[in-house]
Structure 1
Amino acid sequence: MSQSASFSSDHIPDISGFYPEKWTIKFVNEGAANLVFEVRLPPSPPSTTESHANGHSDIFQGHLLRVPKAGAKTFPYPELLQYWDSTITPLFPPENLVQHQLVKLGQSPSKVITILDELLAKAESGRRKDFRDTRVLPDAQYGMLIEDMRSQNPSDYFVEFKPKWLSPSPSQRTRCRNCAREAYRDHLDPSHHKAHRLGILCPLDFIACRSNRGSLENVLKHIVPASASPSHRNHLADWLRTNSLLPLLQQAQAKHDPSQGVNLELAMTLRDCSLFLRISTPQDGTGQPARIEAKLADLDKKNAAKKKKHWEELERDLVEGGFYEGKEQPREETDCLLERAAN
């Protein structure tokens, strides 16, 4: 897709002016459509470059650099940011959203992209097999600085998870939409063993854990690593019981449920987002309470024109195959909250 945009780019920082060949860069993560890097600028005297003189020398501080992946066929970053501003931000308080800033990658051929591709080539062995050999979109004009929600201090705790479908589909009876889909996947691939089927967290537990101890323990079992301290586990348990973000996400999902025929691309975006949660414990011995930050990310605009047929066919297979009601043959086992409640 074209990188053109109907907005002024005059005030968007051009990071190619920061001598990218001298950057300290670390490959952080990637998905099907984007690559994420940690960038650190070398110390430099004041006014070394025009960019530094304009006060942008700390532009990467507290942020990660996200760039589009070649062949992903997604929307240009300016369009994604416009969608974020017009459609996503009205739904949630700003403190519950990972913040973004558009940056220029420089004129093509971009020195920034060349350096990032060189780093990817060196990192091939550590990348997911189906992502290997992919590179940055060669003619990308824009990247995005995204708020870095990872641990900033040794005492911090960070967890990332996908809440999935927090509001049951109106057509469902015995299983939620997510667990019905998992049963369908296992039905197509009988090689999946029972431990896999029962190892999928039912997203309805995220809401039920506010009042259901069993659901709370189930969520903690799935999202808290063994390395977490008892203190961090307790803080996370308190947040799960009392937070307002997950109920707010549930309300947004219910309002835009695709079965209602309302804004399908937004409905699917809200059901595929990620939640970043960071617990910061003061290290000064003052006894101040821990600070908990919870923010939604991965809320990019979905390409409904390309995916609508797939979404509709999957929903039809779930309904007609009896996966919402647990009537598929042979019947697959899941750990859906609704199935647990019925037994």
Structure 2
Amino acid sequence: MTTAALDPNVHLTYLAEGAANIVYRIHPPLITSIVNPTSPSTPPSTELESYGPSTPPPTEVPEPSSPDLYKGHLLRLRKSAASSVPVQESHVAFITKIAPLFPAESLVSQTLIVLPPGLLKRLNSELRGLDGVGTRATKRRGTYLDEEEEYGRLVGDMTGDGNGDGEGDCVALEFKPKWLVQSPTAPKEARRCRTCALSAMRIAASSRGTAWKGVCPLKLLAGNIESAREAVDIILKSRAADERVSTRLVEFICTNELVKKLRQLQEQWDRQGVLGRREVDEDLSMAMTVRDCTLFLKIPTNPTMPIEARLGDLDLKPTTREKLLYWQNIERRLIDEGWYTTTEKGPAMGRNHCRLAETC
């Protein structure tokens, strides 16, 4: 059982961020290993590692630097948020509850890594500098890394850049499949799925206008070329993708089993919905986790090479009452304000792009 420790002099460059995490590219590959002395051997860095609440603190054993450990990986760090879960706890949940549900090749790999003292404070100082010059998205400014966190994660690099794998050019894409099964508490006369209803509500409340052309998750599972083509056009958006890439992505959407597996898990873990609950049980936490994961795709321009598809952002959702109240408030608004049924008041939302509107 091995945990890696980041060298304090490692150089990191800001790459991207979401609501709960920030991702950095690593330069150069400097590493020191920390090895549990009870472990009979040191597994490759790509293997998932098992940790439990009774795992004793590892003993530091200096080893030569291992640049290969960083190859094809990014560093993912947790932001400070009241509802966020400590990295080690989240990692344990991933390898014990989530990873066993999918083939290893269908998941973005992740390895727990110990952070050096002072790193997060330094990175937060850099983030404040990025805030000052407007580099970060407006909605992300003012949020920073949790300086009390001891761990980060090395995650597989699905950006299609900087892997050094020698596999040639590819188009890298990512999107969230979201709610692949309608909310159990949605009205029977709904003409929007839960994802489309929430998107419509948020667009109406924003300053971006009333037109919306997001991907309806139900079209990812429609099983026909027309729906798949519409989804692909939205996913690719303004990218100047080769028509062959577009065609391959349509075929992938029509035939892949990964999104179908997500749908099955979402349905299995939440048949009740969030309303009427007094607490978040493990099943609901798991359901919300697979509703918010990201599908990463690498589509080689060489048609003889297979598409690489992996799920990431599979951090187990917290089971706090505050989180439950948040989910319940959203659901009540979607129902009471007519977002499911397209009877909402206010500016017209334009065409309803949800598949439910086409099948009602």
Range of TM-score over shorter length: 0.7 to 0.9
Aligned to 2:354: 336
Give me the CA root mean square deviation: 2.7
Number of aligned positions between the proteins? 311
Letter in 2 for 1:267: A
Alignment deviations for residues 77-116 of structure 1 (CA, whole Å, 9 cap, x no partner): 111011112221232222111111101113xxx1432443
Of 199, 214, 233, which residue of structure 2 is paired with 1:182?
199
Contact 2:298–2:308 (Cα < 8 Å) also in 1: yes
Letter in 2 for 1:112: L
Letter in 2 for 1:97: L
Q: CA deviation at 1:308?
A: 0.2
Alignment of 1:93-112 (within 5 A): 93-106=103-116, 110-112=117-119
Of 62, 67, 73, which residue of structure 2 is paired with 1:63?
73
Aligned counterparts of 1:73 and 1:217: Cα–Cα separation in 2: 37
Contact 1:27–1:119 (Cα < 8 Å) also in 2: no
Letter in 2 for 1:127: R
Alignment of 1:243-322 (within 5 A): 243-257=256-270, 259=272, 263-281=283-301, 289-305=304-320, 306-322=322-338
Q: CA deviation at 1:145?
A: 0.6
Contact 2:29–2:66 (Cα < 8 Å) also in 1: no
Aligned to 1:161: 175
Alignment deviations for residues 143-186 of structure 1 (CA, whole Å, 9 cap, x no partner): 11111111146611100001111112343432211122233335
Alignment of 1:198-217 (within 5 A): 199-208=213-222, 210-211=223-224, 213-217=225-229
- Secondary structure at the counterpart of residue 159 of structure 1: strand
Aligned counterparts of 2:325 and 2:82: Cα–Cα separation in 1: 18
- 72 and 160 in structure 1: CA distance in 2 versus 1, 3 angstrom threshold: farther
Aligned to 2:157: 148
Contact 1:51–1:57 (Cα < 8 Å) also in 2: no
Alignment deviations for residues 101-140 of structure 1 (CA, whole Å, 9 cap, x no partner): 101113xxx1432443344344332111232243322222
Aligned counterparts of 1:321 and 1:82: Cα–Cα separation in 2: 39
Aligned to 1:120: 127
- Secondary structure at the counterpart of residue 70 of structure 1: coil
Aligned counterparts of 1:69 and 1:186: Cα–Cα separation in 2: 26
Letter in 2 for 1:269: T
Aligned counterparts of 1:220 and 1:52: Cα–Cα separation in 2: 47
Q: CA deviation at 1:229?
A: 1.3
- 258 and 83 in structure 1: CA distance in 2 versus 1, 3 angstrom threshold: farther
Residues 1:223 and 2:235 aligned together: yes
Aligned counterparts of 1:58 and 1:122: Cα–Cα separation in 2: 31
Aligned counterparts of 1:130 and 1:87: Cα–Cα separation in 2: 32
Alignment deviations for residues 8-31 of structure 1 (CA, whole Å, 9 cap, x no partner): xx831211xx3x33x342211112
> Unmatched 5+ residue regions in structure 1?
1-9, 45-49, 283-287
Q: CA deviation at 1:243?
A: 0.7
Identity of aligned residues (%): 33
Q: CA deviation at 1:57?
A: 3.4
Aligned to 2:34: none
Letter in 2 for 1:33: A
Contact 2:30–2:66 (Cα < 8 Å) also in 1: no
Residues 1:33 and 2:20 aligned together: yes
Aligned counterparts of 2:130 and 2:293: Cα–Cα separation in 1: 26
Letter in 2 for 1:168: Q
- Secondary structure at the counterpart of residue 14 of structure 1: strand
> Unmatched 5+ residue regions in structure 2?
32-60, 275-280
Aligned counterparts of 1:169 and 1:61: Cα–Cα separation in 2: 41
Q: CA deviation at 1:190?
A: 8.1
- Secondary structure at the counterpart of residue 335 of structure 2: helix
Residues 1:130 and 2:175 aligned together: no
- 76 and 319 in structure 1: CA distance in 2 versus 1, 3 angstrom threshold: same
Aligned counterparts of 1:33 and 1:190: Cα–Cα separation in 2: 21
